[in-house]
Copies of this chain bind each other. A is one copy, B any other.
Amino acid sequence: MSEKARGRPRAYDPEVALWQALETFWANGFSRTSLDALAAATGMNRPSLYAAFGDKKSLYLKSFECFAGQLHAALDNAAHSEAPLEATLRDFYRDAIEIYMSGPDGPRGCFIICTAPAEAAMDADIRAALKAALAEIDKGLEVPFAKAKAEGRLPPDADTAALARLAASVLHSLAVRARAGETKEALHALARQTVQSLC
């Protein structure tokens, strides 16, 4: 894999720099994040940032995809769970809440749900990325519902796609509520009621 590095070696690992940029966008949103802030967060100077990731929006979209990758892993985890639907959904929400409530300067919610919508109305690229991410959540959550239906643990006429979209909607709200400052207990109660109402 690693060929001989030809020129001057990179002073920073692109992967960790991308994650540091992601954290900055996550806390401040796209428009409020300056290139200076990104440079400070990554320890890189602006030209290096530009060479490595392109312009500001390109870096935001790369951060977006990085976060979407984490999300994809969590959805895959839920999709391949052997546990019953109730437990799968409960654990999925529990893990999400843990992430949404974490953060060095207080709860940050979800990178995607909390930073993309503000830009989505006027920026077609961010809107497309957001729409795709929402669709992936919907699709990913449908798997455990479809499984439960196939096993007869849901009514035969249950619309698993619609139920998954409803379950995803609660995830969106958890993200916003966490960032608004609701308590972890309030979020868990919402997750509990959701599991009870949908399973």
Residues in A lying within 8 Å of B, measured CB to CB:
26-32, 103, 105-109, 113-122, 127-128, 130-131, 134, 159, 162-163, 165-166, 168-170, 172-177, 179-182, 189-190, 192-194, 197-198
Q: Looking at the complex, which one of B109, B162, B193 makes contact with A117 (CB distance below 8 Å)? A: B109
Which chain B residues lie closer than 8 Å to A27 at the CB level?
121-122
Which chain B residues lie closer than 8 Å to A121 at the CB level?
26-29, 103, 105-109, 114, 179
Contact B118 A114 (CB under 8 A): yes
Contact A166 B176 (CB under 8 A): no
Contact B180 A193 (CB under 8 A): no
Q: Looking at the complex, which one of B108, B120, B165, B190 makes contact with A190 (CB distance below 8 Å)? A: B165
Contact A127 B181 (CB under 8 A): yes
Identify the closest chain B residue to A134 (Cβ): B180
Give the distance to chain B from A150, nearest Cβ to Cβ, in Å: 19
Which chain B residues lie closer than 8 Å to A117 at the CB level?
109, 113-115, 117-118, 175-176, 179-180
Question: Within the assembled complex, what's the spacing in Å between the Cα atoms of A119 and B198?
Answer: 32
Which chain B residues lie closer than 8 Å to A159 at the CB level?
193
Question: Within the assembled complex, what's the spacing in Å between the Cα atoms of A27 and B109?
Answer: 22
Given the known inter-chain contacts A118-B114, A121-B114, A181-B127, please indicate yes or no for A134 contacting B166, CB distance below 8 A: no
Give the distance to chain B from A84, nearest Cβ to Cβ, in Å: 18
Question: Within the assembled complex, what's the spacing in Å between the Cα atoms of A107 and B130?
Answer: 14
Contact A193 B134 (CB under 8 A): no
Give the distance to chain B from A116, nearest Cβ to Cβ, in Å: 8
Give the distance to chain B from A196, nearest Cβ to Cβ, in Å: 8
Contact B182 A166 (CB under 8 A): no
Contact B113 A181 (CB under 8 A): no
Identify the closest chain B residue to A177 (Cβ): B134
Indicate the member of A31, A103, A130, A163 with the most B CB atoms within 10 Å.
Answer: A31
